[in-house]
Amino acid sequence: MGELIGYARVSSRSQSLHVQVAALLGAGVSQEHLYAEKVSGRSTEGRAALEDLLCRGIRRNDTLVCTRLDRLARSTRDLLQIAKTLEDKGVNLRVIDQPIDTSTAAGKLFFTILGAYAEFEASIRADRQKSGIDAVKGRPDSPFKGRPASINGNRIMELHAAGVSPTRIARDLKVARSSVYRYLAGVASNG
């Protein structure tokens, strides 16, 4: 039988790994076989501890242990890719808080179902967040103000009234000529 290799992850630097690390140590993972990181799980990109674990930290007959499936991956695609890597290396996966143990047929099935559910849940959460942001955007006290204007409309109007060409206005104000034309067309259609 191989070693128990633990993996813990939180999404932001302000979150604590303590609860996950304690659970992994309680499940029999030794401190020397523990990989932990504070990084988003939306993708496997930029997750150095996970990459190190998958490339060098596990060997045939080892078991990767994590507390919850979403600590390992947030998308079904990434989760299935990690599962394929583990399978190719002859490594099992055990999830402490969910009945997943890929050394059993039932554990493999449950693993696949939970992976799909985790991705669905992340998509629903993203949709709710977007809806909330969209609802707040129109309010005067909204923190979502959009990008600040890059052109000075009053200055464009002053120069235009003085007979300066749009090309010269754009060069003087260091903005695109199309922005000057667009601003002048907008003023003309509203005026």
Catalytic residues: 11
Burial pattern 41-61, b for ≥16 Cβ within 10 A else e, equals: beebeebebbeebbeebbeee
For residues 173 and 156, the answer to whether their CB atoms sit within 8 Å is yes
Query: CB atoms < 10 A from the CB of 97, how many?
Result: 12
Cβ pair 110, 98 in contact under 8 A: yes
**Residue 65 neighbours by CB distance under 10 Å:** 24
